[in-house]
Amino acid sequence: MSLLVDRAFTALCWALAALGIALPVGIVAFLAVRGLSVLSLGFLVDAPAGLPLGSGGGIGPAILGSLALVGIGAAIAFPLGVGGAIYLSEYDPPRLLARAARFAAECLAAVPSIVYGLFGYAFLVVFMALKVSLLAGGLTLGIVMLPIILIGAQEALKSVEASQREAALSLGVTTAHALRRIVIRRAMPAICAVTVLALGHAFGTAAPILFTAATIFSRGDIGLSTPVMTLPTHLYYLTGEAVSFDHAYATGFVIVVILLAANFAALALKARVGRD
């Protein structure tokens, strides 16, 4: 009887694992097949065209806009998140402060993205008078990414063995030197991985950008004070207005491919840094 139960459990695990693999592969394949008719080099570099707008042309400005927004957000969130994680895990702050900061970061990481969009619109667009622009959207995405990077970086730093810190300090080096040459170096693969996850999360989110940075059409001009097209908001427009589902499937496929490429790059970077 026990042998039968063991075999049934093994078969169930294999079935669930196969389903877990087949589901994302099936989604990517479905998007590729449905959008194959419009996928081309021109689709990746041209601006939207046709009537209604988006039924022809491509998504070049949307790709540029998404990359610009995520770049600005990362430039803000990465140093703040990693710096905050270093302070909380290595410099022994007051316990109440450390617990409050961690609790706040965990709460912020769980906040729906639409709330970030409303905050960005009320504070950055209206109160700070940044208007709907690349800068306002980038700052909003930086706030979205910050708690994810801070929590992940703190866990990565905590995973470094205390004996390595003690060995370095026993040799008479400063805390900053031990952090730079030992602790951060050991934690960097995990920090890189969580940063890419945060970038992917920001790259694929639409709600914060709808309120702070998005426009329906752009020729690809990038300026801090001007709105930009992005892939998620363009996909929302194509489906919400029923403009072209073929273009929507192709846009969704491009988003998935970019996110997959970023994750594979993170794995390669993690492996390379881990060997150094």
Domain-by-domain residue ranges, the chain? Answer: 2-35, 44-275
Q: What is the pLDDT of residues 92-145, one digit of tens each?
A: 788 888 889 889 998 988 888 899 999 999 999 999 989 999 999 999 999 999
Overall average pLDDT of the 31-50 stretch: 87
Q: What is the pTM of this model?
A: 0.88
Q: Is 164 exposed, middle or buried (0-12, 13-18, 19+ CB in 10 A)?
A: middle
> Which tokens belong to 255?
């988003």
Report pLDDT for 145: 94
CATH number of the structural domain 44-275 = 1.10.3720.10
Query: Tokens 């099936």 sit at which residue?
Result: 26
Whether residue 239 has pLDDT greater than 90: no
Q: What is the pLDDT of residues 15-26, one digit of tens each?
A: 988 988 898 888
Neighbours of 141 (CB within 10 A): 33
Of the pLDDT bands very low, low, confident and very high (cuts 50, 70, 90), residue 259 is: confident
Report pLDDT for 272: 65
Q: What is the pLDDT of residues 145-191, one digit of tens each?
A: 999 999 999 988 888 887 777 777 777 777 777 888 888 888 888 88
Q: Reduced to 3 states, what is the DSSP secondary structure of residue 130? A: coil
